Amino acid sequence: MPQLTSEMKKALRRVQADKLLTKKDLAKYIGVSESTAKSITRDNEPQEVKNKVFNAVVSVIAENY
């Protein structure tokens, strides 16, 4: 499974902050469940995720930076 790096997780939290999104709104924006959004923004530790989640996060980061 692909892995979200600490830099990717920080970038995702920056997108969340810049757009003033709650975790629920972030989940909708990314296209994942709220629990997944909470999990991937909780800390900076690298984290293995499903391909769908990885691709969604990469797309959101790319659109915003």
- Confidence check: pLDDT of 54 > 90: yes
DSSP 45: S
Q: pTM here?
A: 0.92
User: What mean pLDDT value characterizes the chain?
Assistant: 97
- Confidence check: pLDDT of 8 > 90: yes
Looking at domain 3-64, its CATH superfamily turns out to be lambda repressor-like DNA-binding domains (1.10.260.40)
- Confidence check: pLDDT of 65 > 90: no
3-state DSSP call for residue 62? helix
> What burial class does residue 9 get, using C-beta atoms within 10 Å of its C-beta: 0-12 exposed, 13-18 middle, 19+ buried?
buried
Residue 47: phi and psi, rounded to 5, are -145, 130
Domain extents for the chain? Answer: 3-64
Alpha helices in the chain (DSSP H): 6-18, 23-30, 34-41, 51-64
**Going by C-beta distance under 8 Å and a sequence separation of 6 or more, which residues neighbour residue 47?**
3, 4, 9, 39, 40
pLDDT in tens, 22-52: 999 999 999 999 999 999 999 999 999 999 9
